[in-house]
Structure 1
């Protein structure tokens, strides 16, 4: 392998690059880290080609790009633009993880999958999944991951179903999965969704409770609930931070809490950075690759 210094260029379409991701990259082994902010999609090609043409071809595997921000679709567009900008034999690796949410989604799905297998002897195929917070990046990525694994997924809308319908359409166009957009704005609508779900992902904004004690009481078919919200109140009432397949109070389901998910998320993001540094070939990594690694980590 080339002994060239590992360099990471970090792109954000927003005002700041996440300090969390900068720290993660440094701890994973990148020696030079350069953030770029307010980047547009049109600028990606020029930045990537500046990076590849400034180093010999065999240094390419030691050159990385990271895509941050908070928009899942834009991050995927940046990733594709970077891939198309490569000019063989000049190459580099790219990882998209906007707001750390691709790796968070991958970790959540992997943790729940482990509980489903160990406690109920089943996988995702045919499992009825309801995703609360479906318009966020974690909800978007996790819904696609489990749909690709064969789950039947409902995207739950809290304030107007139009945005959720758009997410379902984008998921179909880009990944070929069929997601059902449903309204959860009224108590009756929410009751029907929860009472028919076997797995619930609570991926709403921090500090927002999406499922109450009363709502859990009619979750007769529910097997596992995962909550990524570590900021009080919990997204699911009664969820404890470190739950990892323990009984969730107030219902028959098992809970997976945010810090159990966070442990795997941290290891997944770190692991993807290390894959980029150590790979003998250029990599292009998104939430699907994050899930593959998270699966290994929980196993």
Structure 2
């Protein structure tokens, strides 16, 4: 491996680059970190080519691009644009984690998978999942990860099913997975969804409760509920921050709380940065690679 200085270029389509991600990259070992803000998709190619042509080819493995923002599809498009901009033998590594949500989704799925395996002796194949907050990046990524593992995934719309139908269509087109979009706007609709679910992902915005104590009483088939919301009130009423397979109050299910997920998320994001630094080959890392690492971390 080249002993060139490790440089990380961090792209955000928004007006700020996340300080969380900057800190993570620095602590992982990058020596030079440059944030770029308000970056458009069209600007990715010239930025990448500026980076690769300024260093000898063997320095490529010590050059990285990180893609942030809050839009999963745009982040994936930027990642693809970066890959296409490479001109062999010039190379660099790319890591997409918009809003830290790809690694959060990977951590949530890995934590729940561990509970399913050790408490119930089963995996994702055929498991019925309801995703609340399905149009967010965590909901988007977690639904695709589990569908790729063979789960039956329902995307719950709390305000108009059209956006969720669009998300399911995009997931089918890009990843070949079949996700079911369902309306969850009324109490009756929500009750039917909760009654059927074996796993619930609560991935709505911070401070939004999606499952109440009363609604948990309908969850006769529920095995595990996971909640990424650390801001009160919890996304699932009764969920405690550090739950990691403990009984969830007012139902027969087990809970996985946001700080148990957050611990694995932190280690996953740090670990992917370190993979880029240690690799002898250029890497392209998205939520699928994050899940592979998160699985190892919870094992």
Q: TM-score, normalised by structure 1?
A: 1.00
Distance 1:192 1:168 in 2: 20
Distance 1:103 1:273 in 2: 12
Name the counterpart of 1:25.
Answer: 25
Name the counterpart of 2:226.
Answer: 226
Residues 1:182 and 2:186 are matched in the alignment? no
> Per-residue deviation at 1:243?
0.0
1:199-278 alignment, distance < 5 Å: 199-278=199-278
> Is the partner of 1:102 in helix, strand or coil?
helix
Distance 2:177 2:42 in 1: 28
> Is the partner of 1:274 in helix, strand or coil?
helix
CA offsets 1:168-227 (integer angstroms, 9 cap, x no match): 000000000000000000000000000000000000000000000000001000000000
Distance 1:125 1:236 in 2: 24
Distance 1:117 1:48 in 2: 42
Name the counterpart of 1:8.
Answer: 8
Distance 2:90 2:298 in 1: 35
> Is the partner of 2:246 in helix, strand or coil?
strand
Distance 2:257 2:144 in 1: 21
> Per-residue deviation at 1:104?
0.1
Distance 2:81 2:94 in 1: 10
1:1-299 alignment, distance < 5 Å: 1-299=1-299
Distance 1:59 1:277 in 2: 11
Distance 1:94 1:250 in 2: 44
CA offsets 1:222-254 (integer angstroms, 9 cap, x no match): 000000000000000000000000000000000
> Is the partner of 2:35 in helix, strand or coil?
strand
> Per-residue deviation at 1:33?
0.1
Distance 2:125 2:236 in 1: 25
Distance 1:189 1:41 in 2: 39
CA offsets 1:77-132 (integer angstroms, 9 cap, x no match): 00000000000000000000000000000000000000000000000000000000
Distance 1:85 1:240 in 2: 45
Query: Over aligned residues, Cα RMSD in angstroms?
Result: 0.2
> Per-residue deviation at 1:16?
0.3
Q: Unpaired segments of 5 or more residues in structure 2?
A: none
Distance 1:250 1:51 in 2: 55
> Per-residue deviation at 1:74?
0.1
Distance 1:85 1:280 in 2: 20
> Per-residue deviation at 1:160?
0.2
> Per-residue deviation at 1:151?
0.1
Aligned residues: 299
> Per-residue deviation at 1:12?
0.2
Distance 2:143 2:214 in 1: 25
The list of structure 1 runs, each at least 4 consecutive aligned residues, that deviate by more than 4 angstroms after superposition, is none
